[in-house]
Amino acid sequence: PAPANEANTVLLRIVPYGDGQRLLVARDVSDQKRLESTRRDFVANASHELRTPLTVLRGYLEIMNEDAGESGALAAWQRPLREMSAQSQRMGRIIDSLLRLARLEAEGMHQRQEAIDIGEMIRQVVDGLKRHEARDHVFELDLQPGLNLYGRASELESVIANLAANAARYSPAASTIRIAWQAEAGGALLSVADNGPGIAPEHIPRLTERFYRVDSGRKASDGGTGLGLAIVKHSLEHHESELIIDSEPGAGSTFSARFPHSRLIIEDAA
């Protein structure tokens, strides 16, 4: 029985059974679903509650950093204060990503959707990266004009931003990153290819797990949180798509997503 005001969820499956027969299997997954939703709510509430105290700490740290920089009373603390700032910024990024992930999981498919000019979105994300974290990288864009995607702008932007930022983060400065958006048989393909170190096959299936990082000892300052690809995976699921990872150590990596034809809005070239 379901608690008051709550419905039960039953999973129905038809499985082959003997010669030509089928078996209908019904499984009550209500408890599992309730547990999942309790966990999501907890993560969302906890990350939300952690934001305010962190903002206060970061405010004071900024003032102390300024004082240390002007050889004031805190001059001897310059290095530790800088490290504290870097770590608190990282904590802020983790909290924001956790909140984002919890919302993505809870929202499902019911959010507002619109026709999105993916080519234009890619150009804007790349412009932003070139001003900050990917100043020294070379971007090559291969974008099909008039190929729009029906979906949620904020989610699709986070897919592009996460994949492009990773390509820059894990490949050497001045190397080339190729981003393509092209129609193909049955749909369209978005791909981000880098000339980075590549990824060993045993890591690839685990990359979209929360907090999974190939090199867990990376610096706080590199901007990573270990949550980026989990966010990408969930955002793509909302668009009937999935992340395809093609990589080999020493040969760079290509992260791509295929979108079904039903999501495309193709403008007339005329």
Please list every residue from 17 through 46 that binds ligand ADP, using CB under 6 A: none
Give the range of 10-18, 20-28, 33-41, 208-216 binding ligand ADP by CB under 6 A: 208-216
- Least separation in angstroms between residue 201's CB and ligand ADP is 13
10 Å CB burial of residue 262 (0-12, 13-18, 19+) is: exposed
Strand ranges inside the chain, DSSP E: 10-17, 21-28, 114-117, 138-143, 147-151, 176-184, 187-194, 243-247, 253-260, 264-266
Does 214 participate in binding ligand ADP (rule CB under 6 A)? Answer: yes
Please list every residue from 111 through 170 that binds ligand ADP, using CB under 6 A: 162, 166-167, 170
Could you please report the per-residue DSSP string of 129-185? HHHTTTTT-EEEEEE-TTEEEEE-HHHHHHHHHHHHHHHHHTS-TT-EEEEEEEEET
Does 220 participate in binding ligand ADP (rule CB under 6 A)? Answer: no
Among 81, 118, 129, 229, binds ligand ADP (CB under 6 A): 229
Q: Are 175 and 194 in contact (CB under 8 A)?
A: yes
120 vs 215, beta carbon nearer ligand ADP: 215
178 bridge partner residues: 140, 193
Among 191, 195, 241, 253, binds ligand ADP (CB under 6 A): 253
Token pair, residue 131, equals: 């001003």
- Least separation in angstroms between residue 213's CB and ligand ADP is 3
214 vs 220, beta carbon nearer ligand ADP: 214
Judged by the rule CB under 6 A, the positions of this chain that interact with ligand ADP are 162, 166-167, 170, 194, 196, 199, 207, 212-215, 224-230, 253
